[in-house]
Amino acid sequence: MLRFASDPTKDMHIGDLRVAIFNYIVARQRGERFVVRIEDIDRTRDVEGKDREILEILHLFGLHPSDVYYQSHNLTIHQHMAIKLLEAREAFACFCTPEALEAEREAAEADGKTYRYGGTCERLTDAEVLANENPFTVRLKKPEKAVEFDDLLQGRRSFSPDEIDSFVIMRADKSPTPDFACAVDDMIHDISLVIRDEDRIGHTPREIHIRDRLGYDKRVEYAHLPPILDETGGKISEGENAFGVKRLVERGFLPEAIANYLIRLGNETPREIFTLEEAIEWFDLKRLSETPAKFDLDELRLLNREHMRRSDPKELSRAFGFADDAVGDLVKQYLEEGSTIEELRPKIEAIFAAKPFEGEWREPMEKLRDVLKNAPLFETFDELEKHLVKETGLEGENLLQPLRLLLTGAQKGPDLSKLYPHLKSYLQEIVK
């Protein structure tokens, strides 16, 4: 089973979406279940409906989970596992106050050393623990030897006992830390492969150590994805709105184009344009580059244009408030002038909006409008043009420029002969 673990206290950004897409693809390739885990164990942070937004985004991108569960629902199991470790002497109660630990950390930094827990409470006797009425956390003892694992992208990784340290697995309020909850939940749900961002790689040896101490002997594979960089070469932050998935969709990028781009990013693909379903046939996680990939908005725009061109006309028209093949095909005529729905919407809205009759073209526009109101429906633009020449006496630029303004509300644009087949059924509404 593969999972997408999501923090419901922040907006989903493209790095999160890439992780979800890869987990979904590999789960489909392996014939395994794909589940979504909402990591809501931090009681100090407000979810504010972000969990629903996360699920809506996944649905929008066609990433349909087999199941959705909330980490907080496993709290009793987390606590039971912590008790098991305490009973086995693999973990211990730590009464060190946050202030004392911070003082130790500052002292280590002042000496130019990496802070490690000093082991103050590790050697307390049962009697000393029972006699202490102060709040306590639960710490897992550091491993006796290095924790090693094979990353599918980064190869063999090794972390020494000191790097892992004796770390907290249960907070003073008796809620689990993210590392402990994650490790236990992956056991509960029989996760076979964890695909996530590279910045989580330091947590992996802790999770492995937790499962080892609990006697879990199933091998869990890992693949840590290199970061996505912004246009300046800096690492994309989860707080950057420009790279939020919701914001990209609002700007008019199609979900299929965004998915196409993220699958191609730092990857070798057999072709440039493809769907998620097509990618499932050939995607190979091990072929991903180990180096960071730079997010290129211009490249995404080009992909978006191609996906709009290939999209079902009726479905495309829905983004503009219609459900009509003709309007979808009309939008496609403007793809040389824009690459996103956000860019093209004003052009389509202008066609169906009231037009100002002013300036040098006012009189010919009025004349054309009067003729068009009573004109029969012509199949081709040539037939329409001949009719207008005959009825108005206008020709050449004196006909085409005011006609363009009347039909599209713009002085420039695609050839009217290409627009007309998609406009003709709305002609009376446009010139009313």
pLDDT at 339 over 80: yes
- The confidence score (pLDDT) of residue 240 equals 59
Across the chain, mean pLDDT equals 94
What confidence category does residue 252 fall into, taking pLDDT thresholds of 50, 70 and 90? very high
pLDDT at 78 over 60: yes
- The confidence score (pLDDT) of residue 200 equals 94
What confidence tens digit (pLDDT) does each residue in 199-244 have?
Answer: 999 999 999 999 999 999 999 999 999 999 988 788 876 555 678 9
What confidence category does residue 30 fall into, taking pLDDT thresholds of 50, 70 and 90? very high
Q: Give the chain as a 3 state SS string.
A: CEEEEECCCCCCEHHHHHHHHHHHHHHHHHCCCEEEEECCCCCCCCCCCHHHHHHHHHHHCCCCCCEEEEHHHHHHHHHHHHHHHHHCCCEEEECCCHHHHHHHHHHHHHCCCCCCCCCCCCCCCHHHHHHCCCCCEEEECCCCCCEEEEECCCEEEEECHHHHCCEEEECCCCCECHHHHHHHHHHHCCCCEEEEEHHHHHHHHHHHHHHHHCCCCCCCEEEEECCEECCCCCECCCCCHHHEHHHHHHCCCCHHHHHHHHHHCCCCCCCCCCCHHHHHHHCCHHHCCCCCEECCHHHHHHHHHHHHHHCCHHHHHHCCCCCCHHHHHHHHCCCCCCCCHHHHHHHHHHHHCCCCCCHHHHHHHHHHHHHHHCCCCCCCHHHHHHHHHHHHCCCHHHHHHHHHHHHHCCCCCCCHHHHHHHHHHHHHHHHC
CATH of domain 72-225: 3.40.50.620
pLDDT at 58 over 60: yes
- The confidence score (pLDDT) of residue 195 equals 97
What confidence tens digit (pLDDT) does each residue in 282-336 have?
Answer: 999 999 999 999 999 999 999 999 999 999 999 999 999 999 999 999 999 999 9
What confidence tens digit (pLDDT) does each residue in 131-164 have?
Answer: 999 999 999 999 999 999 999 999 999 999 999 9
Once rounded to an integer, what is the mean pLDDT over residues 353-364? Answer: 92
Once rounded to an integer, what is the mean pLDDT over residues 384-410? Answer: 95
- The confidence score (pLDDT) of residue 8 equals 84
**pTM of the prediction?**
0.92
What confidence category does residue 48 fall into, taking pLDDT thresholds of 50, 70 and 90? low
Q: Where are the domains of the chain?
A: 2-65+228-308, 72-225, 312-431
Domain 2-65+228-308: homologous superfamily in CATH: HUPs (3.40.50.620)
What confidence tens digit (pLDDT) does each residue in 81-135 have?
Answer: 999 999 999 999 999 999 999 999 999 899 888 999 989 999 999 999 999 999 9
Top-confidence residue, 236 or 53: 53
